[in-house]
Amino acid sequence: MINLIDTHFHLDFYKDHKEIYKKINELKQYTICVTNSPEVYQECQRIYFNTKYIKFALGFNPKENHSKESFGLFKNKFKGADYIGEVGLDFSRTYSDTRIEQIEIFSQKGKDNVILTIKDNGCGIKESDLIRVFEKGFTGSDRTKSKSTGMGLYLSKKICNNLGLDIDITSKHQEETTVKIIIPKSNFNHLH
């Protein structure tokens, strides 16, 4: 039998979640169970345990109207989580009325701008590569990343330029990378 893989499964959405958990393990189906909040992640860790086939991913979806305390719990759990699942902003028409609240959760306010910070604790970027990361097709001098396209940061920079935003990147090689999108307050009203 072929082992199936599911990388975005909400076990907590099912009433019979305990039976489904058991069945996934019996079928040997590799599954990453994502969560929408650190509270749900914490509860899943309490009820279940990671197995060879099931792993739990910490999540934080601001459209769920989480509190600042919830975000604090997310940040606290972040370093210890093996998988990060559903995290993000949703500016679709359905959630357009919560755009400002969503941005506030993931941002800090300056005098003239709002800064949206995206940070990982991955492999980082070499200092010598930082000046080139926004170039089209640049994949770094470390060729262990053979599937890199060099398009992600290039497109991010292009989109920011088109929207009148600034984007900045800092990194510690072998530790972390931080990307900051700087939104001038003069552009902030366009988010409504």
Torsion of CA 68, 48, 27, 12, to 10 degrees: -40
**What is the model's pLDDT at position 192?**
46
**pLDDT tens-place values along the chain, 192 residues long:** 566 677 788 998 999 999 999 999 999 999 999 998 899 999 999 999 889 999 999 988 766 656 778 878 888 888 788 888 777 666 667 767 766 666 666 667 777 887 877 777 678 899 999 999 999 999 888 766 667 788 889 999 999 998 888 999 999 988 888 888 888 877 665 554
Q: What is the pLDDT of residue 113?
A: 83
The neighbouring-strand residues paired with 64 are none
Residue that has been written with the tokens 């993931």 in this structure: 106
pLDDT of residue 85: 78
Determine whether 8 is exposed, middle or buried from the number of CB atoms within 10 Å of its CB (0-12, 13-18, 19+): exposed
So what's the pLDDT on residue 91?
67
Q: What share of the chain is helix, strand, coil (3-state, %, to 5)?
A: 40, 25, 35
CA-to-CA separations, 30 to 27, 152, 181, in angstroms, rounded: 9, 28, 35
How many residues are recorded in the chain? Answer: 192
91-109 burial: b if 16+ Cβ within 10 Å, else e? eeeebeebbeebbebbbee
Give the other-Cβ count within 10 Å of 124's Cβ. 19
